Amino acid sequence: MMFVKKYLNIYYYINKMYITKIHKNEIVTNEKNYIDNRQYKFVTSINESNLIEYELNEDTYIFVVQYDNIGHFFHDHFFLFYSFWREKKRKVLVYLNNNFYLDFVISTLGSEYVEKMDDKYLYIGKNIILTPEHRKRDLKLINNYKILLNEIKENCFSNNNIIEDRHLNVLYGRQDLHRKKLLNIDIENLEKNNIKVIDNLSKYTFKETIDLLSKCKNFIYVFGAGVTYQLFLSNVFEIHANINDSWSAMFGLCNICNLKIYVSTNTISSNFKNGQNNKNLDDNIFYDNHLHEGILRYIIR
C-alpha cells in the first residue's frame, strides 16, 4: 500500500453533518475530524466578536504553515498536501506567515485555486478538507514522487514566465543568516573562476529566487533550509559542518538533481542559542583551500 493511500480515510471530507468554523489556524469541528497536523489548532470555541461570517459553500482545503523554514514547509507540509490536491483539485484557503510561501503555493497550484485567509473573517462550512502533516519528511514515500517534484518545478517556472537557461556558477554561503555561515570567503578568487557569490538570498522574493536558480548550471551552498532550492536546480555542491546531515540524500531531492556532498571539519561555533540538538551542525564553516579546490574540481568536472 502506498504511503498516501493510508491517509485517505483520515484526510478527506470532514463530517458534512457538522459545521466547521475556522479563524486563522484555529478550527472548531467534531473531535472525530481531528487530523494529525500540528499546524492546525483544534479548539472547542473561537471568540467570534468583531468577526464577519464567511460561508464556504464549495469544497475547500485548509492549508496552514506558521513558521519560517522553507525546508520544513516543503518536506513536512506542502509536498504531501500537493499529492492530495492534485488528485482532487479544489479551492485552497491558506494561512501562511510570509509571502514567499504564498507565492510558492500560488505558483504551484495556480492563482485561481488559492485564497489567502483574512483575519477579519470567521470561515464557516461543511465541505472542509484537512490534510495531515508528513512527519517522516521522506518524499520518496509518496507515490510517483519524482513526477510530482517535476510537476511543481514546471508549474512554478511556467506560472512565473521563467525559462531555464543554465549558465551560472553560484555560491551562497548564508552570510545573511545567523548560523552555518561560510567565513572568509575568497570572493576575488571565486570570481576569477567564474563563480558568482550571493550573500543575501534569504531576502529574495520567491520569483527572484527561482529565476536565479533557473539560471544556475552549478549551485554551491551550505546546507540548511535552502535544501528545497534543489527542486529548481540541476547540479548542487552541498557543504556541511562536521557531519553529513543531507536532507536531500535522506528524503529524495537528490534523485532529481546531481548532488555532491562536502563535509568540512574546519568549523567554529556559531553560538546560536536555539537551532538543532547537535550544536555541531550549526557551526560556521571556514572557507579554506581544501574547500576552494573541491569547488573548482566540481565546476570543471
Q: Over the stretch 83-115, which tens digit does the pLDDT of each residue have? A: 999 999 999 999 999 999 999 999 999 999 999
Please give the helix or strand (H or E) that residue 271 lies within, else none: none
pLDDT of residue 54 exceeding 90? yes
CB contact at 8 A, 231 and 153: yes
Q: How far apart are CA 282 and CA 64, in angstroms?
A: 27
CB contact at 8 A, 246 and 223: yes
Where in 85-167 does DSSP place strands (E)?
91-96, 114-116, 121-125, 128-129
Q: What is the pLDDT of residue 17?
A: 59
| Cell reading at 90 | 479544489
Residues 64-86: tens digit of each pLDDT: 999 889 999 999 999 999 999 99
| Cell reading at 39 | 499546524
pLDDT of residue 229 exceeding 90? yes
Q: What is the pLDDT of residue 196?
A: 97
Closest by CA position to 73, among listed 53, 100, 52, 54: 100
pTM of the model: 0.93
Cβ burial of 16 (10 Å; 0-12, 13-18, 19+) is exposed
Residues 197-207: tens digit of each pLDDT: 999 998 999 99
Q: Of the ranges 31-35, 73-77, 80-84, 143-147, which one carries the lowest mean pLDDT score?
A: 31-35
Q: DSSP letter at 78? A: I
Closest by CA position to 24, among listed 121, 115, 98: 121
Q: How far apart are CA 208 and CA 210, in angstroms?
A: 6
Q: What is the CB neighbour count within 10 angstroms for residue 184?
A: 11
Closest by CA position to 39, among listed 26, 21, 57: 26
pLDDT of residue 24 exceeding 80? yes
Q: Which structural domains are found in the chain, ordered by start? A: 4-150 (no CATH), 168-299 (3.40.50)
Q: What is the pLDDT of residue 10?
A: 43
First-to-final CA distance of the chain: 41
pLDDT of residue 15 exceeding 90? no
Q: DSSP letter at 241? A: E
Q: What is the pLDDT of residue 14?
A: 52
Tell me the average pLDDT of the chain: 93
pLDDT of residue 213 exceeding 90? yes
Residues 242-275: tens digit of each pLDDT: 999 999 999 999 999 999 999 999 999 998 888 7
- Binning pLDDT at 50, 70 and 90, where does residue 5 land? very low
